[in-house]
Amino acid sequence: MKTKIPNKIRIRRSVIEQIKNTVGQRQPETGGALGGNRNSGEITEYFFDEGAYVSGVEYRPNRDAVNTAIRNWPSADFVGIVHSHPRGVPFPSGMDISSAISLFSNPGNDNLRYSAIPIVQSSATGPFSMTMFVVDRSDHELHEIPITILDEKKTQESPNECFSRISSSVNLERLADTHALCIGCGGSAEFITDLARSGFGRFCLIDPDRYEHANLATQACFRSDVGTPKVESIAARIQQINADADVHPMHCSLDDLSDDALSELISETTLVLGMTDSFHAQARTNQIALKWGIPSLCAQVYRGGYAAEVTFTHPETTLACHRCILSSRYDAFLKKGIKNHATSEGSQYVATPTVNSLKLWTTLALAHHGSGHSFWGDKLAELGNRNLALIQLDPNVDESLGIRAFKNAYNHPNAFTGNILWREQFPENPTTGYNYSCPDCGGTGNLKARGENIPDTKIIPTCPES
């Protein structure tokens, strides 16, 4: 599985100026060390390696001096080495790439997902320039990454200031490295920005739509958003909350992305979140979670906004996949050709923020699983196989939608509405009462078992005969 490298590298203007005034003014080859936030791709520190071994064709760092400088950085981690090349060679050599790869095995670099090796063309031999390259830890491939220069006044306050009121409520270090792959960003806009407020640091947003005037009463958007791609508006809001967040907006449909394209987006810390009213997009979300063995969440508001559901999976805690949970829906769409008519049209708006709150709680539980956090660390284990959450939004939902589960569970004079049922789910197979095994996960209870056997997540397996 590929690691997720930033889609841009942000460098403080003061760091750029220091590089210009040292490496950028001397004959090649000279260099120095870079420090910053490994999750966000922001470079905030620079050390000029004046005691390095240099020649006209080689820069060899002074390791003792560089390591001492790194230890003295107050709140930055080592992210890479910058050095200059002779005029006309603005890219890394094979030796540069090998050196960058070797850094991954150095002490303290266990969570170094990429090694930065920007190449400078010095003003001593012509116009100054710096081109950013990174080497990916997972496959050692070289990537050229755009640079954004940050003025000091625009850089984010320290994480302790930004998240000071929730620093004990969540595991900020874990969430900063958690990657939310969000499929569908309309009704979930507020949920996505709430993930940023909760400390999530990495986002990929997929949605083909632009905001329309009709969305003003059904989604968390404003008149200034009308005409703008939803993913771009939400990305901007995330950056307004957390300037260190790594956000990758993709103004396209999930159908526009092949599995090869998805593999570039998915990392070992990805959660895939399916939040559309498209059956096929939700079904593909299940396939994506199974193929890459990652946690997932899907949500659906029912007709009229009278009720809603959240389903979720985690390979370490749940046995049933989304298809096991929702097999009757698969039958309806794939066998009977039924179309989804449950959209925001005519729905109670209260359903949107209510289900978003349930999604947020569940996603925090998924992201914290195994973290040891005092509140969130064990929540997923406590839920066990209860990975279907139904939320009642109409006191008479048994009449409006024919759902009697709430009346059966909450037959008490103090119960009215807003109730949540967490229902235990089991994999579909002959031992659990079915005459077939789930076509998606195989019904084995091991949600990682079929990953390598899913050739294309766009292909939803047909329904077996009952």
Q: Are 288 and 196 in contact (CB under 8 A)?
A: no
The CATH fold assigned to 162-453 is Rossmann fold (3.40.50)
Distance between CA atoms of 363 and 369, rounded to whole angstroms? 10
Angle separating helix axes 189-197 and 230-241, nearest 10 degrees: 20
**Strand 133-136 relative to strand 114-116, pairing:** antiparallel
Q: Are 12 and 4 in contact (CB under 8 A)?
A: no
β-bridge mates for residue 432, sequence order: none
Q: Residues in the chain with pLDDT < 70?
A: 1-4, 152-160, 340-344, 466
Nearest to 48 by CA among 28, 34, 64: 34
pLDDT given for residue 299 in this prediction? 96
pLDDT given for residue 107 in this prediction? 85
pLDDT given for residue 39 in this prediction? 76
Residues of the chain with CATH 3.40.50.720: 162-453
Strand, coil or helix: 418: coil
Angle separating helix axes 351-368 and 189-197, nearest 10 degrees: 40
pLDDT given for residue 4 in this prediction? 63
β-bridge mates for residue 420, sequence order: 391
Place of tokens 């998924």: 366
pLDDT given for residue 157 in this prediction? 45
pLDDT given for residue 86 in this prediction? 93
The string of DSSP codes covering 328-377 is HHHIIIIIS------SSTT--TTHHHHHHHHHHHHHHHHHHTTS--TTTT
CATH number of 9-154: 3.40.140.10
Residues of the chain with CATH 3.40.140.10: 9-154
pLDDT given for residue 2 in this prediction? 54
DSSP state of 225: G
pLDDT given for residue 161 in this prediction? 76
- Of how many residues is the chain composed? 466
pLDDT given for residue 8 in this prediction? 80
pLDDT given for residue 40 in this prediction? 75
Distance between CA atoms of 204 and 252, rounded to whole angstroms? 12
Nearest to 330 by CA among 449, 253, 404, 440: 440
Instruction: Label residues 243-264 b or e (16+ Cβ within 10 Å = b).
Output: bbbbbbbbbebbeebebeebee
**pTM for the whole structure:** 0.71
